[in-house]
């Protein structure tokens, strides 16, 4: 059994931003030299997501608008913000989008469907954050 661990760093320009990280994850898979296995990609922060969906700019806007409807920013709405934070909304948004994805590695590559792309979803950005990539296999 082989394994490979790598930490990717992100600092987004916007508070809320969706970043395509497929190529960066694919690079870690190549470096690992693992041919058959599983690849975990997770946000290490609780106000951000890693998820798989479509690389289409309109859809990214739809996600932002929709998440704002389901979990509005409104500072006074949340008890968590009594701690001095204003990011309770980001904790909720991230639960809808998910913390992590697990992707199959087959014949040395991410085994993704035609339109599947891996995204880092930032909901409380403009500061340094990390994503963990761990591959296990042979």
Decide if residue 28 touches a second copy (CB under 8 A). Answer: no
Count of beta carbons in the 10 Å neighbourhood of residue 92? 18
Edge-to-edge strands, sheet with 17-20: 17-20, 117-122, 48-53
**Cα 108 to Cα 32: distance, rounded to the nearest angstrom:** 9
Q: Which is nearer to a second copy, 30 or 95 (CB)?
A: 95
**Cα 64 to Cα 53: distance, rounded to the nearest angstrom:** 14
Of 10-18, 20-28, 129-137, the window that binds a second copy (rule: CB under 8 A) is 129-137
Q: Shortest gap between Cβ of 6 and a second copy (angstroms)?
A: 11
Taking a C-beta distance cutoff of 8 angstroms, is the pair 29, 137 a contact? no
- List the one residue from 11, 27, 30, 44 that touches a second copy (CB under 8 A): 44
Tell me which residues in 69-108 interact with a second copy (CB under 8 A).
70-71, 78-83, 88, 91-92, 94-104, 106
Q: Which is nearer to a second copy, 20 or 106 (CB)?
A: 106
- List the one residue from 9, 13, 23, 58 that touches a second copy (CB under 8 A): 58
End-to-end CA distance of the chain: 5
Taking a C-beta distance cutoff of 8 angstroms, is the pair 79, 89 a contact? no
- List the one residue from 63, 110, 124, 125 that touches a second copy (CB under 8 A): 63
- List the one residue from 15, 46, 86, 108 that touches a second copy (CB under 8 A): 46
């Amino acid at each position: 059994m082989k394994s490979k661990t790598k930490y990717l760093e992100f600092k987004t320009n916007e508070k809320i931003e969706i970043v395509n990280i497929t190529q960066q994850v694919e690079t870690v898979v190549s470096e690992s030299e693992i041919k058959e296995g599983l690849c975990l990609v997770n946000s290490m922060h609780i106000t951000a997501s890693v998820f798989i969906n479509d690389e289409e700019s309109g859809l990214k806007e739809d996600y932002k608008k929709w998440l704002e409807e389901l979990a509005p920013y409104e500072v006074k709405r949340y008890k968590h913000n009594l701690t001095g934070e204003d990011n309770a909304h980001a904790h909720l948004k991230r639960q809808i989008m998910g913390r992590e994805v697990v992707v199959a590695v087959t014949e040395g590559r991410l085994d993704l469907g035609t339109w599947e792309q891996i995204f880092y979803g930032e909901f409380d950005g403009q500061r340094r954050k990390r994503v963990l990539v761990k591959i296990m296999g042979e």
